């Protein structure tokens, strides 16, 4: 069974929490992670709310997860808030000029779940709260069991309220073979705030897994698109979790492996 982003999930969406944040993390400041931004969406182009996260690449582009907009690929329905610890106030709001999704995005298993958001009003990357991230190159290796840091405005647990402030959580990189075996026969859930993405198995070399030994820490709904850092270098983009929700002991959190996309990111950003 393969279930992708379709209208079939509208009835499921209403039963799931609308906003969730980092599980087991702590509040942090945008000064510590000035490349992290909130990707916001509106149905009426008036009221915008946090949908996903993104990471600044340069003064005109940020990288996020394509499943954040694949069902609504209309640039003027999105904004980015930069330079703010809080997702609904402060900093600067930027109109979105273009949404660029990876041409080989696979809805069935979320392979190549990466996209570029180009803004119409440039990021002020000379400011202390707005900076471009250091991005992993092709040869950047994340060793198994090494600490990585996930960021986001999602929830503290599956049924909890949304976090107004940016949070961080330390996870450990998971051996890829072990992670692939864990996901072979289950249905992961995408992390987008207003969309549910379900797929079956199919972890690829383009994916990077992370968790914590007792499942007390993870990413959650609303954390899609935000960055995973290794030695303060962007190595992952939050993509999906296991079917049983956030903080699963069986299924790690899964990220896009940024080092696999160095050329594509450079070309499109």
Phi, psi dihedrals of residue 259, rounded to the nearest 5°: -60, -20
CA dihedral 172, 177, 178, 183 (to 10 degrees): 100
Query: Is residue 223 flagged as an active site residue?
Result: no
Query: Is residue 111 flagged as an active site residue?
Result: no
Cβ contacts of 202 within 8 Å, gap of 6 or more: 106, 108, 109, 111, 183
Query: Is residue 67 flagged as an active site residue?
Result: yes
Phi, psi dihedrals of residue 144, rounded to the nearest 5°: -55, 140
Q: Which of 50, 67, 94, 230 is catalytic?
A: 67
Q: Which of 224, 248, 253, 259 is catalytic?
A: 224
Give the β-pairing of 233-241 and 26-27. unpaired
Q: Which of 113, 239, 248, 253 is catalytic?
A: 113
Q: What is the DSSP letter of 49?
A: E
CA distance 96 to 119: 4
CA distance 180 to 201: 8
Q: Which residues are catalytic?
A: 67, 113, 224
């Amino acid at each position: 069974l393969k279930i992708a982003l379709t209208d079939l999930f509208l009835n499921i969406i209403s039963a799931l929490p609308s906003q969730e944040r980092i599980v087991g993390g702590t509040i942090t400041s945008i000064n510590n992670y000035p490349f992290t931004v909130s990707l916001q969406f509106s149905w009426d182009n008036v009221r915008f709310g946090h949908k996903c996260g993104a990471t600044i690449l340069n003064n005109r582009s940020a990288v996020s997860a394509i499943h954040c907009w694949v069902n609504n690929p209309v640039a003027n329905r999105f904004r980015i808030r930069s330079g703010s610890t809080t997702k609904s106030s402060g900093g600067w709001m930027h109109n979105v000029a273009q949404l660029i999704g990876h041409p080989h995005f696979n809805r069935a298993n979320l392979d190549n779940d990466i996209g570029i958001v180009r803004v119409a009003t440039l990021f002020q990357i000379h400011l202390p709260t707005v900076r471009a991230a250091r991005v992993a190159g092709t040869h950047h290796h994340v060793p198994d069991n090494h600490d990585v840091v996930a960021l986001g405005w999602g929830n503290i647990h599956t049924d909890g309220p949304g976090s107004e402030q940016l949070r961080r959580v330390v996870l450990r990189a998971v051996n890829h073979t072990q992670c692939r075996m864990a996901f072979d026969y289950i249905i992961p859930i995408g992390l987008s705030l207003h969309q549910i993405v379900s797929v079956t198995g199919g972890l690829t070399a383009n994916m990077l897994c992370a968790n914590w030994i007792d499942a007390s820490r993870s990413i959650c709904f609303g954390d899609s698109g935000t960055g995973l850092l290794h030695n303060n270098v962007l190595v992952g983009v939050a993509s999906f979790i296991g079917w049983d929700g956030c903080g699963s002991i069986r299924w790690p959190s899964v990220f896009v492996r940024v080092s696999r996309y160095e050329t594509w990111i450079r070309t499109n950003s």
